[in-house]
Structure formats: structure tokens, C-alpha cells
Structure 1
């Protein structure tokens, strides 16, 4: 199985997810949003599959620091622009495999999905 984990290396959730994959011997490729960039077409595919509201991390520091006028009236286009401009606003990790796409980390869910 080809697994790509997208995120930021200093994110605690990404660290937990990578550690879990390593401990379970699951080969993966890590894609650093900041260093490796983010293709707008790929982000659009994620939005189409998961929804922008699931991808946009409104509880994160980066989003909370935005001026109030940028937080109001969000839609898919404005959320996409924010996430492309500041990838730290994307909920992490995003995981792509041949059989699907997911966002976030929960050991029990990953056990059922990847280690079964």
C-alpha cells in the first residue's frame, strides 16, 4: 500500500501519527506542506472529497490569529485560498492511500484501517 502523510513536522499530531506508522512497520512517505508545498489541484481534490470545513482547522492558532473579517462568510473558495496561503491552517495529518483519504489521527481508527 502506498501511503502519503501530509503535514508539518513539528505538529504534535503529525509526530504521533508518524510514530504510530513506524511502530506498526507501515511504510509511508511524508510530505511537508511548508517545505514541499501544496498543489492547488490536490487541495481541491481533498475539498471535493472531505469538504473544506473538515480540512480547515478553525481551532488552530494560525486561524485564530486571522482578523475577524477574514473569518466571516467562509466558503470553499475563501477557505481554499487561506489554506494555500497558510498550510498550517489545514487540519493534520492528511493521509492519502489507494483506498481513500482521511484527515486527523486516532490510533483505534488507524489500527482498523492500516494494521488489519
Structure 2
């Protein structure tokens, strides 16, 4: 089973959904649980936080120093997208390496 976690307005998430033919779990509408966030962070580490996003740029310097999991809980759109789970394996983004592994 394949699950895509992202945001429905994200172009990259839409491309992944279209290519894989599965539903998107919108993390704005259905926030990730602490267990999911911890699991994703354990696999991807700092790469899970998108420091190039508009949300990141809008944070104060003080907020940026907070723990990544706290930031992701308060600002789900800071998560690099999409996170794809297939057969228990996690993938981050929709780059050529992820596409090659999943298509």
C-alpha cells in the first residue's frame, strides 16, 4: 500500500499523486500524529524541515531555533513534501531517485 503525505495545493505532491495513482493525505486537513512525525524525523532528520519554504522565511530567528518536531507540529507546511510511504519504506520528495524507486 502506498500513502502520500503532503498538501493538496503543492504542485510536487500533485505530480506524485498523478504518477502513482493514489490518494493524498493532506497534512493540513489531517495533521500528522506525534508518532508519525517522530518516525519521519528518525528517517530523514533535518532534511524533513523545508528551510526554503515561504513558511520558514516567515519565522523569526527565535522560532527557527526551536526543535524541528515542535516546528513541524505547529507549522505542518514546513515539512518537505511529499513524504511517501510504500510497503513500510519512506521516501522524501519527488526527485528522480524517488521516481526511479517507485515507478
Deviation of the 1:109 alpha carbon: 2.5
Q: Normalized against structure 1, the TM-score is what? A: 0.81
- Runs of 4+ residues deviating >2 angstroms: 108-112
Q: Where in structure 2 are there 5+ consecutive unaligned residues? A: none
- Number of aligned residue pairs: 103
Gaps in structure 1 of 5+ consecutive residues: 23-27
1:41 to 35, 39, 60: 35
Give the TM-score normalised by the residue count of structure 2.
Answer: 0.90
Note the C-alpha offset of 1:110: 3.9
* Alignment CA distance shift 1:87-1:35 (3 Å): same
Residue from 91, 103, 112 that aligns with 2:92: 103
Aligned position for 1:3: 2
Q: Which residue of 2 aligns with 1:85?
A: 74
**2:56 alignment counterpart:** 63
Larger Rg: 1
Q: Deviation string for 1:24-43 (max 9, x for gaps)?
A: xxxx2321101111101110
